[in-house]
Structure 1
Amino acid sequence: MLTIGLIDNFMISRLGLSILLNNYYQDVMLLEANNVQEYNILFGHHTPDMIILGNNSNDEEKCLAVARQLKKLNPDLPLIIYDEHLMRNLTISYFRIGISGYILRQNTAEEMIPCIETILNQKKYLSPILTEHLLDSLSHNYGEKTPKRRPILTRREIEIASYIAQGMKTSQISAMLGRKASTVSSIKHNIFRKLNVKSVTELLDAFSEFPF
């Protein structure tokens, strides 16, 4: 049985997500609560497979504090966050404290199941919308002494980097784009070389070095 902690003080959103999960998974137990404190009181003795947290505030510090609290209490559990508002500066901070998936509330119907499945396969998931915003910041270099923006990644490299950031393998990207695997591998090598990174985690970390 798949057991998922579901924390969201928006009852309607929680109900919709509950219906979505119960319709997709034949055998799932949902541990539902309005907030972290209530969850710990009701289900502190349970060990779910993952926890899903809905953030409704536009206060970045508050959202990050709640995520930190959950990770401190459940350091080994995968944590998925879906935010009401697009707060790009939070993306890097979230992953640095150890979350496993990040999407927007408006896309939960389309992305929550793929996000969960990706995490069950021990990978991280970042919404394509958020990935696009982050990678767009990498397409230009803002030098202090350079008045004009200088491209870092080409449009094709940005596209492939977005797939890499989502955890896709070279063979999957190759099939999706209709390109040879060797071509995709070469582009991936160029992306990592240009950004001076060696892994997907470092690729995400590189975003923090560029303004949003």
Structure 2
Amino acid sequence: MENKEIVFLLADDHSIVRQGMEILIDEIVPNAKVYHTSSLLQIVELIQSKEIEIAIIDAHFPDGNSLHVLPKMRIANPNIKILVFTGLEEDLHVLKFIKAGANGYVSKLSEEDEIRLAISDIVHKGEYFSALSRNLMVQFVHNPDLINPLSRLSNRELQIAEMYAEGLGNLEIANHLDIKQNTVSTIKKNIFDKLKIENLVELVDLVKTHHKM
């Protein structure tokens, strides 16, 4: 347990998530001071004004993706510890958050004990990564393409993924590429399977986040 006051920032657009996390923080760090925000735009400002030491943040907010804010957080306080707490698939997303400056990554689908361990490790060790994340980091050393899940796609699949991201439908893509519409549907299914996603919203987000990194 820590005796000195530690200043936390909980950044998530769902208040119930922040409230639940604050309960766990209070158990682990009784002297914690906890600030809340539901806005991505407020994060850096609060880090500067409140001298935040540990930030626990979601990956997505209504006003954007927190991936691009992590480097700014690190500039605002080079010693800040950042734990990403998100519902995004760990195997698809953890490496890009580490690259952007995160000190830890834990899924919202985790058991409470794992979330508690993640908070404790961030406080006492300065980082938290699951066995899966550590394994991916080792693999990344040998295969840098791991950080970009779009590298799993063939050239044709990537071309069609980009067209979906631009808002084109199956018929428009088929006409543009001079292929059958059911061929587009088959390729779309392959894209979803390779990227472990279920809908076009997730595909558009992946293309916007990763393409031309």
**Band the TM-score falls in, shorter-chain normalisation:** 0.5 to 0.7
Residue 48 (structure 1) aligns with: 52
Q: CA RMSD in A?
A: 3.1
How far apart, in 1, do the equivalents of 2:68 and 2:114 lie? Answer: 24
How far apart, in 2, do the equivalents of 1:202 and 1:123 lie? Answer: 19
Residue 41 (structure 2) aligns with: 37
SS in 2 for 1:102: strand
Amino acid at match of 1:111: E
Residue 102 (structure 1) aligns with: 105
Amino acid at match of 2:141: D
Whether the 8 Å CA contact 1:56–1:85 is kept in 2: the answer is no
Residue 208 (structure 1) aligns with: 144
How far apart, in 2, do the equivalents of 1:72 and 1:43 lie? Answer: 10
Residue 71 (structure 1) aligns with: 74
Between structure 1 and structure 2, the one with the greater Rg is 2
Percent identity of equivalent pairs:
15
Deviation at 1:43, TM superposition (A): 5.7
| Unmatched segments (≥5 aa) in structure 2 | 153-213
Deviation at 1:85, TM superposition (A): 1.7
TM-score, scaled relative to structure 1: 0.55
Whether the 8 Å CA contact 1:7–1:34 is kept in 2: the answer is yes
Whether the 8 Å CA contact 1:4–1:28 is kept in 2: the answer is yes
Whether the 8 Å CA contact 1:55–1:81 is kept in 2: the answer is yes
Is the alpha carbon distance of 1:131 and 1:122 closer, same or farther for their aligned partners in structure 2, counting shifts above 3 Å? closer
* TM-superposition CA deviations, 1:17-49 (whole Å, max 9, x none): 111212332211101111232344556322222
12-21 or 43-52, which moves further after superposition?
A: 43-52
* Number of matched pairs: 143
SS in 2 for 1:124: coil
How far apart, in 2, do the equivalents of 1:42 and 1:97 lie? Answer: 19
SS in 1 for 2:34: strand
* TM-superposition CA deviations, 1:144-179 (whole Å, max 9, x none): xxxxxxxxxxxxxxxxxxxxxxxxxxxxxxxxxxxx
* Residues 1:93 and 2:96 aligned together: yes
**Which residue of 106, 116, 120 corresponds with 1:117?**
120
Bigger proportion of residues as helix: 2
